[in-house]
Amino acid sequence: MKFFHCIPSLQELEIRGSLWEYLTVGGLPHNPPTALNNVKSLKMADMSFGDLKEVSVAVYLITSCPKLQQLTIKCESVNNVVEAVVQFLQDQTCSGGVAKLLQSVEMSHFTGTKMEMQFVRFILASAPLLKEIFIWNFSYILQSGRQMINEMKQYRRASPNVEFKFEAVEVE
């Protein structure tokens, strides 16, 4: 995380590719870098919900950006349930209110795995100003978008006004 101390004040941050590996090495500092204080938009590409270290970094970044308003995640496909990730996200959900200004979440390549759904539960419990969650996946995914959205609507929400949007992309 020393990487962020070299950057004065970010408003947009995008994590992708080998940067995930770099950020997962060496552990997370107790005090977040001040460079994250002004981040309003956080994009995380190729994020694996099957990798506890990546999920830990993602949660750390979300909770370390006090002005975060927009979150975009491109999920990497994971076939197996990783109970350690599910448990970690359940523990985070209890803290609540950590993404105070978050208004919009977009998740692509979302498949509805237990880890992804638990992450959405964490976001819903943590964001009192959240206006929308937009999720898209490919139409061949086994769990339908309607099923996923209906399940999400059952989760406890810090914001009563969340609009759930879903789009399935046809693959030829």
Q: What is the pLDDT of residues 12-64, one digit of tens each?
A: 999 988 888 888 787 677 777 777 889 999 999 999 999 999 999 999 999 98
Quick one: pLDDT at residue 142?
55
Of 63, 60, 128, 122, the C-alpha closest to 89 is: 122
Kindly report the CATH number assigned to the domain that includes residue 18. 3.80.10
Instruction: Over range 100-109, report the average pLDDT.
Output: 95
pLDDT value at position 1?
A: 47
Q: Note whether 125 and 98 are within 8 A (CB).
A: no
Confidence of residue 5 (pLDDT cuts 50, 70, 90): low
Task: Tell me which residue range forms the domain holding 50.
Answer: 2-169
The answer to whether the beta carbons of residues 7 and 34 sit under 8 Å apart is no
Number of folded domains that form the chain: 1
CA atoms within 13 A on the CB side of 39: 27
DSSP 54: H
